[in-house]
Structure 1
Amino acid sequence: MEMKAALGLSVLIAVTVATSAEIYGMCQLAKELIKDGVPMKDVPDWLCLAKAVSQMDTSRTTGPAKDGSYSYGIFQIPSNEWCTKGKQGNKCNVKCEDLVAGSLLPSVQCSQLIYSQKGFQFWDGWVKSCKDKPLPDIHGC
């Protein structure tokens, strides 16, 4: 019985460490985005996007979409074109799993690549919730 309890506890610890999900607050995410190289003038749009598509949850995974893809992380980056499940690949050359665990940097870098090619219009959540609408004010951060 003690062996089963120890094994169960080990599995629970491993799962907790592996996922390391985080739900960011506005100022906390703003500081991370700036640290990861997002220009200050663009931060309100990125905050609005994160709120709209993932509720600022780094562990969010959704899908499958009509094309069979899944979307990963705080910016909901789709696997059909931008990441590959189980190995580095696609346009961002990143594992999809890296977009939902640990460092925020892979999500920021990949989403910046998407933005540079497609703009914020790429994300329906940004179009519906952020475009031509008041954006988060980060002056108090």
Structure 2
Amino acid sequence: MKILSLPALLFSLVSVSEAKKFQRCEVTTTMRKAGLDLYYGYSLENWICMAYYGSKFNSGAVSGSNRHGSQNYGIFQISSRWWCSDGKGKTANGCRIPCSKLMDDDLQDDILCAKRIVRDRKRRMNA
């Protein structure tokens, strides 16, 4: 009986992150705490607007293929061509992150990548 209960115990200890459709207030609070308000001159409203119109606050959002065969991932719709690696094609992987990490309910890595993107002189929020 102890052998059967061990796998159940181990399974219950594993934390599984899944995609999530966030509420506006939840996203706003998370972004504010992460220091996005006025980060590189972009207001919190800019970040909220981008996340809403990009993904409808859905961390599991994935776009169709872009003209280069890349896709956009997560709440900020971050491109696999430049910023994350989806293992499907050529990427610069500027955020040094697998795209799958942008599709879970933990927004911290998404926010770190978004901060990296707006620090890029050529792209900023236009990316």
Aligned to 2:12: none
Mapping of residues 71-82 of structure 1, within 5 Å: 71-82=72-83
* Residue identity opposite 1:53 in structure 2: G
Task: Determine the C-alpha separation between the residues in 1 that align with 2:52 and 2:27.
Answer: 10
Are the structure 2 counterparts of residues 102 and 55 from structure 1 closer, same or farther at C-alpha, using a change threshold of 3 Å? closer
SS at match of 2:43: helix
TM-score using structure 2 length: 0.74
Residue in structure 2 matched with residue 102 of structure 1 by the alignment? 105
* Structure 2 residues not aligned, in runs of 5+: 1-14
Residues paired across the two proteins, number: 105
Contact 1:18 1:101 in 2 (8 A): no
Q: CA deviation at 1:39?
A: 2.5
Question: How far has the Cα of 1:19 moved from its partner?
Answer: 5.7
Higher relative contact order (CA 8 A, sep 6+): 1
Q: Is the CA contact (8 Å cut-off) linking 2:17 and 2:106 kept in structure 1?
A: no
Identity %, equivalent residues: 27
Question: What TM-score, normalized by structure 1, do the two folds share?
Answer: 0.67
Q: Residues of 1 paired with 2:98 and 2:75: CA distance?
A: 15
Report the aligned-residue RMSD: 2.1
Work out the CA distance in 1 between the residues paired with 2:110 and 2:19: 13
User: 1:23-38 to 2 correspondence within 5 Å?
Assistant: 23-38=21-36
